Amino acid sequence: MIKIDNLELHVAHGCNLACESCSHYSNHNHKGLASREEAGAWMADWSRRVKPAQFSLLGGEPAIHPELALFVPLVRAHWPRARIRIATNGLLLDRHPDLPAAMARAGRSVLEVSIHHLSEPYIARLRPVFDLLRAWVRAHGIRVRLIHAYRDWTRRYLGFGAAMAPFHDENPRESWQNCPARCHQLYRGGIWKCAPLAYLGMQDERYGLSEAWRPYLGYRPLAADCSDAELLEFFRREEESHCAMCSSNPQRFDLPLPIPGRPAAVPMPAL
């Protein structure tokens, strides 16, 4: 059993927003849900091998999944002491009235709501979400954390869809050191170094990416039947050649409004 900081699972690949240069490619019109059966099988394969301090349910947008609340006890059954994190943009939470009770029963859980824009159309969409969250906190005592994602948005690749291209900085060490999302992914039974590598194959299946992506599409995740030595080496390893697909010098930019509307900065309402 090896201790790790965080392990993430895509509950849904699609998203109700379209945030440019999303590291999970959720703005590229993907669809698909993880079933509880397959997710449970993946967790069972790893629950005696890795001990994450935090297990994250996300996407895409996890609230697209109609059974989101049922993933909470599933995680708790496999990792009794892990902190359970649900990362969401919050806009579809009203579909899940049973979620706060599931979180309260599981304990050691947090609902992390990412704020992607400060325009009036976006904030207007958030106001009823904040009302709902206040009600959930009062009724169930759950923990809610707001993440101001728009503040540090970086470009993870160049272009879109079939025209998407990797960076060519050829400095995987600096790419790893500057990586804003060192997040291991549990996907298709394996553990992947990061989301851009885990879901790159999904991009290729949909769009047919250029030859520039071939070295990165050749990445192989850690398999559940790996040796103990392979397990230790995987989690101790920092940069590797595949990190070169991302920029070694993060390119920050102002995220365009991910929903229809005219941006106009307004104060963020308090939760």
- Give whole-number Cα distances, 30 to 12, 89, 103, 214, in Å: 9, 17, 28, 21
Nearest to 29 by CA among 216, 183, 160: 160
Its pTM stands at 0.93
User: Interior CA angle at 95 toward 83 and 98, to 5°?
Assistant: 50
Say how far apart CA 184 and CA 129 lie, in whole Å. Answer: 29
pLDDT-derived band at 181 (thresholds 50, 70, 90) equals confident
Task: Give the mean pLDDT of 118-130.
Answer: 95
Percentage of residues in the chain with pLDDT exceeding 90?
92
Domains, the chain, with CATH or none: 2-245 (3.20.20)
pLDDT of res. 264: 38
The tens digit of pLDDT for each residue in 203-244 reads 999 999 999 999 999 999 999 999 999 999 999 999 999 999
Task: Give the mean pLDDT of 61-77.
Answer: 98
Contacts of 262 (CB under 8 A, 6+ apart): 119, 120, 121
Task: Give the mean pLDDT of 164-178.
Answer: 94
